Structure 1
Amino acid sequence: MKVSVLGGGSEVGASCLHIQIGNTNLLIDAGMRMHGDDLLPALGMLDGLGIPDCILVTHAHADHIGALPIVHSLYPSVPVYATPPTIDLMKVMMKDAFKIMEQRSKATDSLSAYTDDQVNRLLQSLLHFPASGILRIGDVTIKSYRAGHILGAVMFLIEGGGESLLVTGDLSFKAGRTIPGAVVPHDVSPDVVIMESTYGNRVHTDRNTEERRLSEHVAEVISGGGFALIPAFALGRAQEVLLTLQDYMDKGLIPEFPIYVDGLVTPISRIYKSYPHYLKGPVAHRIRRNGDAFLTEGRCKAVEPKERETLLQGKPACIVASSGMLTGGASSWYAERLVSGEKNAIFITGYQDEESPGKKLLDLADGLEQTLELNGTSYEVKCHVGKYGLSAHADANEMNRFIQSLKPTYTLLVHGDDEARSRLGELLDPRFNPVLAENGETYPFEKRASGRGIKGKRYQTSDGNNFLKEKIGNLLLYYSDDGQTMKPAICTGIHLKTNALICQTLKGKPVRLQYSQVAEFVGPWNGAVDELTDAVNEVFNFSRPILEKLDWGKLPEGELSIETIFDVIEPSDIREKLVIVLAMQSLPPEYRRKQDRGQAFYIIDDRMRTNLEKFDLPIEAIKMNPTAAMEKARDLLAQHPRFVRCGVNDLGTETERLTIYFDFPDAVKDSERKQLTDMLKKETGWDVSFSDSVRQDLLQKYISDIFGSDAGTPSIHLHERTVSLPAEKTAGSEQLIARFKETTGFQLRFKGEAEHTSETGKEHIFQVESSGNRMENNEAIAETKRWAEDRGLTIYKVGIKQEVVEVHFISPEIARRHEAELEELSWRIGRPVTYNKNPKQNEIIRITLESLPSDWEPKKNPSILIDRKTVSVKVAELPNEEEKKRISDKIERETGYALEVNR
């Protein structure tokens, strides 16, 4: 017996196997890769192998059938067998695959892999696998067994000349909503099993839980006014999703909402309903009773391309569309239009190829990406992204039990990435000789002298990697690509040939690491991943509270391993262990070294011990990230009567700080500021500063609230911290004045009292006696605009507040340069005039950016510092003083703001 792997060995895609048993040659599947330039299996290998006596198809997914038109054109007289549902599904899948391939060829000026005529010839030649489930070709017998996965999917047991081989295709042992799970042939013990291993490195989450999460999240998005897009594999996954959502609505577990079906999902669903005897009993019953179970009248409607725009202009709904990886088709069209809407969501329910847009979208949800490229255009992602485990593949434990049931002499693992196959290979009993199949390789198996079965080999292990095996099951920290940031992962196995650590992140993403990439092993973990994820997130979000619990003074001087440090400090749980590891990684390089196969040792002396006790080290997450810190500050200060907002200043520099903004900062005493500073430092880890900026709009409103409209329009003098009212002081005002001072920190003055002026020596309200009539509102606004145009003044808005015309300049500083003109305007319109006290920050930033020489290379947008009347910009290299002054003078002339330049 010989097994040749033409494709789909060390990958998910282009599945193709050549089997030789005795004098009979078989070809099983011939699929395509979904990405890259090399789409086809290694069909050139067929020249050196026996011409197939027949071709067998396990199921109708493109990665198993996509190259069949080429194979059929090479061997047009060789029969091609598949189950009846698979043949019907192939007629839809092949036509669509060819259309997409043609579009890609035109876009890339390349040749298609085959022609439309070749597709038609293949489809016309397909033969039904016998209803008995047994086919005899040459001197072998081929039996089919239900494989689960999708409609019509089968395994093939091939027997001949005393040898036997089972090819699983794609497997699913758990019954979904549409089809039963795989049949386990307990009475069969093949010599060789060729088994898929797509999810060989993981255990599936509970299906019911995932279905509930998906249904509830879709309902939440729609009730919030958004569209929920579910990109689904048209064949298999989409039907499961449609039944799930409708079942939850039928049971009243979620509200009713419309479902629209687009792309290949529609014709595939219609094929499903044609084979009720292949489906689960409840679904078959619904089809017989209602005529359909997927596209139901009034709830689930098929959409034509011409209806898509109208759909998105209508009421919120759920859209189930192909393809499942957003690589094209209807789902890609919808995603382009929904991905930037904050109310919308895209929910991923299946396997995502590493190069697919769907995988990039999941990376974005994990914080690894910021934008998504669809059809050559990059989009900012603002919609919600969710992932749900509705896999139609067997998981690692199921495959392990399956092999234990069959007890083969050899197990060839195909259809999986290296990490999945390696992990599964380690999980399987060595007695069954797991082999990680590689593309382009031929695996010969020698028949026993007795003529029954093939000769077996013992599984060999190497003592050289025993120290690595001890790390399996450990939580570890490894260095990311920048060599600075550390990330957590769980070691799940070892690649025996390279001694690499096979790991997966807490999100389930596979990672292969060399020992040198590991910063440190935190310790073994055998609990639930969700529990570990919560612990790790708590530490990486804010490590300081946990650091404060540890007695660093117990550390002895000397060169210590992490195990020794654990023994001394006695951490109580995985969180404290992780914090200790993070603290050790923050020691200066000269206090860290590696020896003995990479094991790390840490040098502790009085200085380092003191630094650890005072947290005077760059320990990761010693303070919250800026967003979390601001959210925490908002929560802590929510009840403070003066709190308005918070922000972060000088981010990324040594002076970065959390800045607190009050409406009336002068009303908050120094003693209270000290208490707030200490509290926020403890709760967020951030140093704190307080802005002196005053909310003038709230100040005016407060005056109106306590004095009423009779008080007139106030004059606010920020530098003197006084407010002047044009009204006369009345009896009993002293109590209001004291209350005003306590609440705002400003001194209140009435008409006739000592005047307080602005820094220019003039009042902010300009009113000149006019011989003309007082203009009404619209006339005054129009005349103000003409006045500005006549004098070449740039104003941004004219408004009227409490009978006073308010002119908006780019900043109050520019306005003060034109106070004489403002007096002239008052005379001209017969009304009092003032200017807006808030700068136009966007305009100041625009003018600043336009004024900066290109070789300054600003690192990001300038920052406006209102209290200092400056605009700050960070550049790669500081300019010379002469050039800096020239640019600063220009910006100051145009905006009233001085330029501050930093690196």
Structure 2
Amino acid sequence: MKVTVLGGGSEIGASCLHIQLGETNILIDAGMRMHGEDQLPMLGMTDELGKPDVILVTHAHADHIGALPVVHALYPDVPIYATPPTADLMQLMMKDSYKILTEQSWLNQTLMPYTEEQMQQMLKQVLVLPANGVLKIGQTTVTAYRAGHIMGAVMFLLENNGERLLVTGDLSFSGGRTIPGAKVAENIQPDVVVMESTYGNRLHADRNMEEKRLAQHVAQTIEDGGFALIPAFALGRAQEVLLVLQDYMEKGLIPTFPIYVDGLVTPVSRIYRNYPHYLKGPVAHRVRTNGDAFLTEGRCIPVDPKERKNVINGQPACIVASSGMLTGGASAWYAKHLVTDKKNAVYLTGYQDEESPGKKLLALAAGEEDTLDIDGESYQVNCQVDKFGLSAHADASEMTRFIETLNPTYTLLVHGDDDARVALGDKIHPRFHPLLTENGETYPFDKRKEGKGVVGKKYKRNHEQERLRSYIGHVLLYKKEADETLKFGLCQNVHPKIATFYCDTPKGKLDKVEANRMMETLGPWGLSIEKFADVANRVLTFSRPYLENVNWDLVPDYTLSLQEIFQRLGIEDEAQQFAVALALQSIPDSHRHVDVEGRVGYKLDQKLRFQLSNLDLPIQAKKMNANHAMDKIRDYFADHPRFLRCGVKENGTENEHMLLSFDFPDSISDKEQKQISRDLMKQTGWNVAFSDSVRHEAFQPLLASLLEKNVAMPSVHIHDATVVTKEAKPENSAHIAEQFKQTTGFTLVFAEDAHAVKGTSGGASGPDDVYTPEVGIEPLENNQAIAVAKQYGEDYGVTIFKTGMKQAAGQPLMELHFISPEVAQRYGEMMQALSNEIGMAVTYAKSPKQNEIIRITNQAIPPEWEQKGNPSVHMDKAEVSVKVGNEPGEEAFAAVSREIEEETGYTLRLK
């Protein structure tokens, strides 16, 4: 194991670690220094250290992500992973950082560290960590743990061949008002911990007292007729300040006053509200009930740059603006206009870099200076200045106790000045070998020797309560009452003493769910709550589309957990996972096992796999609600001239179907009926039947339009499918009779031929996709027939992915699964020969093997096309579409297209 500190070792800024674990190279963070000429980490060392296999991002502050565009430009094919909130926040923070860097480069006449295009290209490539927080890179397993610091911040545990390394990133164990603190993962015992040390030489002041001081000082400044400017880090600190001030106002502890919010604070706060399941319970509750907890309407007023002068020319107020160290942005603008007036105040709430204007402002408050330099200009400071301890970093005591809990062999201290690191190194027990790192240094480690652990009385843990708490942030599948349908909920909190979960529903309400009502957990949810609601609503409305192409034969006969079944099926799409979890609840209880820890296992035998493949189980939402289905059916027939209505026909729950009525049902051919049935089953999940009732009154207006005159009501003979009119036969009677027949399915007889009316009959031909054996051939036993089919596939050189047996009209029917129905149609001769040999009808599956088509397409696309993402399969058009960065020439495209079409039957299309 080797850890190389490329930046952020003996400093705060430009955090960047290169880690070699076994054969895997990992880069964690790539931040930037916001001051001085040397802004970047020592990225040139990566050539010697080894190209990274992956880049991991702990959180979205600039000192951890600011240099990522440079890294991405060096290694454009290396994936970058972050949590979903971090990925969203990076979009904002990188663009704002670029704007500030542009202003500084113009002011200092220096070169930009990267281009806007490089930044945009990097942001497009950011990938989201799996919801369970576990990522596999080669032989190395990466596990993410909550770090507290800001929303989405994580620590990374790296494991490879018995070696373990924990990188903390920035830590906070209290988390403040906004988010929960860092998760202390016990019993992992890493060999090496790389830990931040920002506040390694101090203990935090009492948080409640600091919040009270801030609220009272702001209120007093405004009462005295001044403006209170709070420069705050837009990401994390600003949200804390907004909650503190609003809470004190709501409790009546300070007078009500307007809070103007400027800079990046507003869009960051809006991202925070999209992830209530990452927030603390009370804040998440306010987001659910009020729609927001930070930018409360009527109290917190977002400000546009062109409105700033109106703000400072208006009534006294509080202004919360970025950046937190006055290095640029909105807070620097306000400071220029406010610091000269003694009625105003600037209140600092976070860490101030040695070279930042904020640090000099603190020196001014101590009487060491009397002017402030902002953007190259000097300002006389007459306003009040003070600092408040609302740190989002762990202090010395917390970090020392954290190391005691982890019990590592070595502790590397980074992300702190010399005073902080030396002080923290002295506090950490020597048995944990604390090391003060330096930029550019590599620290190699041999495998640790097993220690005996920590001596002392162990805390008695309540495993059941811990188990229940572990579901917070997970998607649960539950029933509120025994006879109710299943529901999805996003667990926000738990009351362990009464074993009750508090879950957000897809409709935005809060459900209290008893633990014994929980049927399954789908694992942690890392995306936004809007995405959860969208996925859950789609599946609970109609689950069939997500289940039709699931290959249940991939699941073995022994008991597996839900997550293991997802892995066996190769399912990563959230909606498909929700649908599979829903489908599994329909299997008999004898095949569903729950252990003492509440974990659920499923044992799917051949019969159950067959039933699941054919959706032949009482799966919730496998067909739409009747009203939704009828709306879909009406839309389907919107342009059909013969359609009248649809309705539910109830012959018991199992035989419930939709009855379709047409004015002339005989005009709908057998082939058209089959197509309609397939389409509506796919769109609604309902079986349909066709009413044989004829709308007699519809014959007269049709006949009148054909004869182009008013006619009397004709005589309708249902059994003979004949309509007799009293009208004389016109010259074009044959043409009119043909049109009448096509429209109604009935034979038209004119008056002079009425005496010759006879019954007519006709038989419908069989479907053109079923191959039937010659008369007299005895059918083989099913297993023998399947073995013959497999041999036919080998002889004809075509892959048959699956052979299924069905019943049609009481006779056996073999269904062959080719890669696509388009390929199947090439082998009609083979299927006919097979039918004659096995003595039973043969058909082919109408659904393609989408994963195989995607795999073949991925293999066929040349690297120089620069494929973006996975191909999309369009079954309705028999097309597979791919997005590429470089459009190929006609000949190259034609060659690849022919290759894909030959193997899959699908046409290639470029997006």
State the TM-score, normalized to the length of structure 1. 0.50
State the TM-score, normalized to the length of structure 2. 0.49
